[in-house]
Every structure is written in C-alpha cells, then in structure tokens.
Amino acid sequence: MKLTAKQELFIQYYMISLNATESAIKAGYSKRSANNIGPDNLLKPIIKNEIALRLAKRATDNGITADYVLKGIKAIADKGERENDKLKAYELLGKHLKLFVDKVEVTGETTVNNKIDLTGYTTDQLKEMLKE
C-alpha cells in the first residue's frame, strides 16, 4: 500500500512538530476533523511505520543514540557541579534501568472467563456457597 499525498504531507509536518492535530491541519485535513484524523493517522500501520523509520534515520544521521544519551547523562551524574543536575541525571538513569516506573505499559490481549459450572449443585448447596 502506498501513502496518499495528504498522508505524506501529514508525515512531513509531523516530523517537524510531533503534533498530530497540527500536522493534519497543515496537510490539508479540515480543522473540524483534525482532532480525530491526526491521532487516527498515527495508528495506521503504513503511517506509523514510516514515521518510525524517519525518526530512527533522523536520530542516526545526527548521531543521537541511546548509548550517546546515556553516556551524557552518566557524565553529568558523575561530574556535574550542580546538585539538581546530578539528581536529575540519576533520576533519568534510574528510569532507564526501570528502577522506578511512572506508568505501566500493558500490551497484548487478555481474556477473562468468569463462567463457573454450577450444574449438579442443589439449590441448598448454592445458597450455602453464597453465604460463604
């Protein structure tokens, strides 16, 4: 599947602002529907994948890697002069190591089956089970 002209424009504007609604408006979608179309575009696999590729390329082209960022943060934590800078650096390193979690990310599917087979129980047995 190929990107439409509007989708390509959306991606180009999104790479600049990282704002889905603003990018949708600039790409030519109506202002009234941009609040829905922008975020919806980010969920479309073709757009999502293209943005991921372009963000990765931009980071690589600029030499910004996870290793680069971690080394910079570690340098501030080890040699920073201001206490606040050092604390922030340690906080970022701790988050990277998942020592503390600000939010929980859950992926995948779950199925809940609350069905209980009550066949074979008498009415008195069921009433007794409800009391427990």
Task: Report the pLDDT value the prediction gives residue 102, as an integer from 0 to 100.
Answer: 66
Instruction: Quickly list DSSP for the chain.
Output: ----HHHHHHHHHHHHH--HHHHHHHHT--TTTHHHHHHHHHHSHHHHHHHHHHHHHHHHHTT--HHHHHHHHHHHHHH-SSHHHHHHHHHHHHHHTTSS-SS----S----------TT--HHHHHHHHH-
pLDDT surpasses 70 at 109: yes
Match domain 5-61 to its CATH number in 3.20.20.70, 3.40.50.300, 1.10.30.50, 1.10.10.1400: 1.10.10.1400
The more confidently predicted of residues 120 and 48 is 48
What are the pLDDT digits (tens) for 40-99? 999 999 999 999 999 989 988 888 788 888 899 999 999 988 999 999 998 888 887 778
Task: Report the pLDDT value the prediction gives residue 35, as an integer from 0 to 100.
Answer: 94
